[in-house]
Every structure is written in structure tokens, then in C-alpha cells.
Structure 1
């Protein structure tokens, strides 16, 4: 038992060292060149009960540095019970952008709520490239141009962006650390040519690839439609890359309550369990780190504490280094507190995933 615990602890420390090394020597940039002739794009933003957030999102869209005559913005209200639709329509009266608005009523069998809305929105898209973000996100002025330039430079049909969680309390700051860690791993793997997933709140997909996979209607039902979309794009032989830069960094809101966070993580787990076996083994070892190091610490307090400290330092350097790629400075105190948060969320997510309760998402229940 002691040998197994030591192996798991040592393996994870070694893994974090390798991730940090690859981040330094193999980090890929894809948006360093500006195109002389930019293509037409369609930006898709679905919303459901986002009255508190949608205006901030739309106001950030106002400042996009992309030719207005080559930009189509498609907004949809998916059965909101608040004033989301009214806010969108009021904004449309004053904006200078080309905007189309859909009120989603039709339900396509085999699709979750968001995928259903996006499928209908995509039918209206006239752009060569489709850009996706969420109603609770704030985009940077360079976002669209950065994503489009990366598509041209890399020759890829799927570009995954980078998203940062914002919040004023410790709980949301810990979520930000979690996103930096997870997306850092995704970026390292992507730069090795191993596409794991995409991210629906910051994503570009060519219309050609979208049509080749049959759109959202052509992918299997999933609560993580962005994960399944990336999987189908890869199966069709299209190239995908992960763009990480200050220019395409999007801000999103963190979950304010632990119950909302667990519901979000339970939904994400549906995508994680569909990863290849070797990835599930690696994720399993990561989760087993905590019981292993605690067991080792009980038997050998000094050595256990030292190994735990080494892991925290290496992990913190990785998170800090990855965030610095977007010129974001993370507080040292937050990085140290993150280890306790990570212990709580990793194990509570597993328990909640197997708990016999339906997954709630935007007021709808699945499962």
C-alpha cells in the first residue's frame, strides 16, 4: 500500500514537471500574422435567463475590431422566463452591427437545450467561419480578429480559445485557478497534436467542418456538446488547435454557490467519462493523489509534507506560467489556497456525479 501511494504521488509530481517543461519549450502561437483580407464571420450567442449578464456581453461586442460589413451577429433567446429577450431587442435598436434575433421554440430531438438553440442559429449563419461565445461572457476587442488570424495561420477548422473566470470572492478566484490549470493541460496536449475538447464559450469552427459533421443535429446527444463537437470534427479528419493569447482571452462569471458549481462539474463529467481509456487513467491517478499523499503523510509526516509541498510548488508554477501567456498575474496566496479547493472539488464532484439525481442546467433537468 505504501509503495502504491508513493508511486501515485511520484507519478503526479513527474507529470506536473513534464507539463511545465512542455509549456516552456513547446508553446504554440497561431495569431502572429494579420490577414490582408478578412473573411465574413457569424458570431452565435445563445441565451436563457441571462438578464443579469447579456447586456455586458453585448456591450463588449460593440467594441470588436472587425469589419462590420463582414460580421453577422446571431442572438437567440431560448425560452427565457426573465427579461433577456427584451434586453436583446432594446440593444438591437441602437447597435450599428448586423444582427439577427431568434426566439427558440422548436425542439430538435436528441439535442440538449443549448445545442438545440445553436443548431437553429447555425441555419441562419452566412459567414465562412462560425464564432461561439456565451451570454455571460465578455469578449476583448481583438477576440474575433485573433481567432480568425489563428485559423488562417494554422490552417485549422476548429480553434479553441482561452477563458478566465472572474469574481470578487475567494470561491470564484479558486475557480479561476482551476480553469487555468485545466486549460493549461488542454493547451499542452493540443500543442502535442492531441485534441481533448473544445470550449463552447470561446470557439471558432469553419462552416465547412460544421456541415461535414452534420451540424449539432449530427452529433450524439451530450450534455457537453462542445466536447462532442470537437470529437466529431477530429473523427472527420479536420485539424484543431488551441489558441492562448491576451487578444482572445474571454472573461466569464464564476459560480457563486457550491451547489451550482457541483451541478456544472457533474455536467462536465459526462464529457470526461467519454475520453479515451488512457486519459481516464491519468485523471484517476490525479484524483487519487490526495488519499495517497494523506496516507503517506500519516506514516511519514516530514517526507509526506515535503512531497506535498513540492507538488504544490510545481503545480503553482505551471498555473502561474500559463496565465502569464495571457499577461495575467495571479496572487501567490490564491495559488496556495487552491490546493485545498482542489481537494474539495475533485472528490465532491465524483460523489455528486454518481449521486442519483438529475443534472440541472439553465432550469432544465437531464438524466
Structure 2
């Protein structure tokens, strides 16, 4: 055996073992705590909005239909210098509803920018005991607040639910599977008490924890502001968890356009590289897997093809478990095709990330960090 063969085999085997562990570790039943008991707390929902004219009504309509007393929650809509008509929509909601408030964001707080800047200013106005952070391109279920409260554990500072892409066509179906796989991994690792991240469009933070870390203004700016806040709260010793149930599941739209998708993933990678070292190592192995498998096919196809089949099988079984938990469905063939889609995206992102280009998001440019 050559050193090249052994090196490629090691990378492939490590990734397959990880898939096996994830599949075996996933619990078949979702969280099913007792309904929240006692007086309902006041909750502030924070939404940063920048040029979301096609989706913001969609999000606000779902927030209006929450199965929660109207006098027990507020929706703070932070207008991050929108130029496309989103402003008029938010102002109309402010005028027509008693608990929806339009907040124009004109200035920057200290070192902050983009969504972190908006959320900091909204949090300062928030009256809630809990802050629910979401985006202007999502749909939340009516049970969203009640389920998040029911799952909240004593000593917690932050928790997040699943977010899933609305699958309308092949490409959005691939993104749906991708998100499900990533959050399934977060769910398992968080259950092992390893701090990973929280989902920034489906995130619950206690006002106490937010205040204790000093808010976003006391956290170094990051293009992955959800990860930065999660890390700060976890560092203070608060409990955290990733939920996986249909009642707190948020649906969002797929990214349109290859370059927009690359910029989104580049932004995420900036946060991923700040994860615990062993998590970064696993991500590196995942990134190397596809080039290694491609090389192995040329070096020894009789070894590569069975291992490739095993990898697809284990990953598909894991993803299927996740989707069953969330009461979602994708055609079985899509799970097989996803491996090829994931390989292409991973290799493309590897090159795109290394390019000396800033991260572009919502019309702004940011450094990779």
C-alpha cells in the first residue's frame, strides 16, 4: 500500500465513522415536555429587516398568528436602511397593530454593523423577559413561543429551534437537506454538552443572559452574529440546547443564485472556524472527503466505490431520521443525489473561501471574520 492510498483511506474512514456515530446517536423521539405552566412571561420578538419587501409580510403575518396572548408579546421591527419598500410595509404594521413596532436604525452602536447593530438597538428597547430573534424571510408556527417556553430549562441562557428550507424545486430541496443535516449534527453535539452554535433566525435568549454578557455592544463584531452571541452566553456558564421538533420549526426561503449561496456559506465558514478545535478538525476532514474520494476512485476504485456507497447510505439514514422527527419529507432519490450536490458545493466553497474577497451579504461587504 502506498502512503497516498493510506492517507486517502484515513480521511474517508474518519468521515464514514462520523456518519455512523451520528446515525446511532440520534434519538427517535422529539422533545415532548409538559406544556408551560404558570404566568406567561412577556416576550420581545426582535427582527432585523433590510430590503425584504418580498418576504417581510410573510414573516409578520405568521407572527401575528402566534398562539400567545397579544398583550404578552411585542414585535420590534428594526429597519436596517431598507431601500426597496420594506419600510412602508413595517410602518403599516406599526400603525395597524398594537404590539408591532417600527424601529428605524439610523446610527451604528460603537463597533457594530449590520444585523448585530440592529439587534443591539432593538434589545435596548425590548421589554420582554425573553428575546426571540428571527428574520424577515421566515414563517414561524403558531406554537412557536409556547413550545420554546415549554422546552426552556432552568439555568438556560440560550436555545434555538430547527430552521428548514421550504422545498419548492430541486435546488431548494438540496438546501433543505443541507440545513437539516447541519442542524442535526448541532443537535447531537449540543446534547453532548459541547457548545457549537445557535440558529440566528430561531433563537431564544433570556434577557438576563443577554444583559450579563453586555449585549452585542460588548461582543466583538462578527458576520455570524448568532454564533458570537451564543459563544458569549455559553462562556458565562448558562445552559444551552438545540431543539428538534415540529412545533418550534421555522421555515425559510432558499437562497437564489450560485454566488449568493457561496457568499452565505463563506459567511458561515467564518464562524465555523471559531468552533472548538475538534469540531474544526471534523469540518476539515469533511472538506477533504470529496477530493479524497475522487482521488481514491482513480487510485483504487474497488475500495472507493463500496466506501462511497456506505457513506451515502449512512448519511441518508441519518437525514431521514431528522426529517421524520420534524414530520418532513423529501424523495428518497434526493438523498442520494444530495451527496453529489454536497460534494460540488464543498469543493466550490473551498476555492471561493480562499479567494481574497470580502463576504458580501445584503448589499454590504465584510471581512471574513
Shorter-normalised TM range = over 0.9
Q: Deviations over 1:79-100 (max 9, x none)?
A: 00111010112233333x5122
Kindly report which structure 2 residues correspond to 1:36-47, keeping only aligned pairs within 5 A, or say none. Answer: 36-47=38-49
Q: Could you tell me how far apart the structure 2 residues matched to 1:209 and 1:28 are? A: 26
Counterpart for residue 125 of structure 2: 124
Q: Note the C-alpha offset of 1:294.
A: 1.8
Is the CA contact (8 Å cut-off) linking 2:262 and 2:352 kept in structure 1? yes
Partner of 2:52: 50
Q: Aligned ranges for residues 63-212 of structure 1 at < 5 Å?
A: 63-95=65-97, 97-151=98-152, 153=153, 155-212=155-212
* Contact persistence 1:30–1:243 (CA under 8 A): no
Change (3 A) 1:121 1:30: farther
Q: Is the 2:53–2:86 contact (alpha carbons within 8 Å) kept by the matching residues of 1?
A: yes
Measure the CA separation in 2 of the matches of 1:116 and 1:235.
21
Please report how far the alpha carbon of residue 246 of structure 1 lies from its aligned counterpart in structure 2 after TM superposition.
0.4
Inter-partner Cα distance in structure 2 for 1:254 and 1:201: 14
Tell me whether 1:10 sits opposite 2:13 in the alignment: yes
Name the CA distance, whole Å, in 1 between partners of 2:361 and 2:12. 35
Contact 2:49 2:80 survives alignment (8 Å): yes
Runs of 5+ consecutive residues of structure 1 not aligned to the other structure: none
Mapped to 2, the partners of 1:103 and 1:70 lie a distance apart of 23
Q: Does 1:20 align with 2:7?
A: no
1:321 aligns with 2:321: yes
Aligned twin of 2:213: 213
Aligned to 1:260: 260
Deviates more, 1:105-114 or 1:207-216: 105-114
In the TM superposition, residue 332 of structure 1 has moved relative to its aligned partner by: 0.8
CA distance in 1 between partners of 2:43 and 2:226 (Å): 19
Seen in structure 2, the aligned counterparts of structure 1 residues 86 and 135 have a Cα distance that, compared at 3 Å, is same
Number of residue pairs matched by the alignment? 364
Mapping 1:288-367, distance limit 5 Å: 288-367=288-367
Note the alpha carbon deviations across 1:50-75, whole angstroms, 9 max, x for none: 00100000111121001111111111
> Structure 1 residue 361: deviation in Å?
1.1
Residue 132 of structure 1 aligns to a residue whose secondary structure is strand
Separation in structure 2 between the aligned mates of residue 333 and residue 90 of structure 1, nearest angstrom: 45
Q: Would the aligned equivalents of 1:16 and 1:315 in 2 still touch at CA under 8 Å? A: yes
Question: How many angstroms does 1:299 deviate by?
Answer: 2.7
1:9-38 CA-to-partner distances (Å, cap 9, x unmatched) read 11211111111111037x772644332322
Task: Quote the Cα distance in structure 2 between the aligned partners of 1:183 and 1:172.
Answer: 16
Alpha-carbon distance in structure 1 between the residues aligned to 2:366 and 2:274: 17
Instruction: Give the SS at the match of 1:205.
Output: strand
Q: Could you tell me the TM-score, scaled by structure 1's length?
A: 0.96
Q: Secondary structure at the match of 1:73?
A: strand
**Aligned-residue CA RMSD (Å):** 1.4
Deviations 1:240-292 (A, max 9, x none): 11111000000111111000000111111110111122211111111111122
Cα drift, residue 215 of structure 1:
0.3
State how 1:205-244 maps to structure 2 within 5 Å.
205-244=205-244
**1:155 shift after superposition:** 4.1
Distance (whole Å) between structure 2 residues aligned to residue 55 and residue 254 of structure 1: 17
Q: List runs of 5+ in structure 2 lacking aligned partners.
A: none
Greater shift in the superposed pair: 175-184 or 6-15? 6-15
Partners of 1:32 and 1:324 lie apart in 2 by: 21
- Greater displacement, 166-175 / 204-213: 166-175
